[in-house]
């Protein structure tokens, strides 16, 4: 199942970039293994966990990454 941003399939680099940004807050995030999509966004599998990323967040990472706050990245990482 392909998901789309701006009428094009979501590029994998969008997910990689988010993982790199999350890593700054939680180095134990692991490395990218694979991903799949569901109706709400991406389910990303790393070497240490599974992360669910909403379509809206993927869209912001694709269009303007600066719109994603540090608080949102910390929330994604599961760190407090």
Listing DSSP states for 4-55 in one string gives EETTEEPPHHHHHHHHHHHHTT-GGG--EEEEEE-SSEEEEEESS-EEEEEH
pLDDT in tens, 46-79: 999 999 999 999 999 999 999 999 999 999 988 5
Provide the residue range defining the domain that includes 36.
Answer: 4-77
pLDDT in tens, 8-32: 578 899 999 999 999 999 999 999 9
Number of domains in the chain: 1
Q: How far is CA 47 from CA 3, 41, 51, 68, in A?
A: 23, 20, 11, 24
């Amino acid at each position: 199942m392909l998901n789309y941003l701006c009428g094009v399939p979501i590029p994998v680099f969008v997910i990689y970039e988010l993982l790199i940004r999350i890593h700054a807050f939680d180095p134990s995030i692991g490395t990218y293994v694979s991903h799949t999509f569901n109706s709400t966004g991406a389910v990303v599998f790393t070497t240490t966990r599974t992360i669910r990323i909403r379509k809206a967040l993927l869209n912001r990472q694709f269009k303007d990454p600066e719109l994603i706050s540090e608080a949102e990245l910390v929330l994604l990482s599961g760190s407090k």
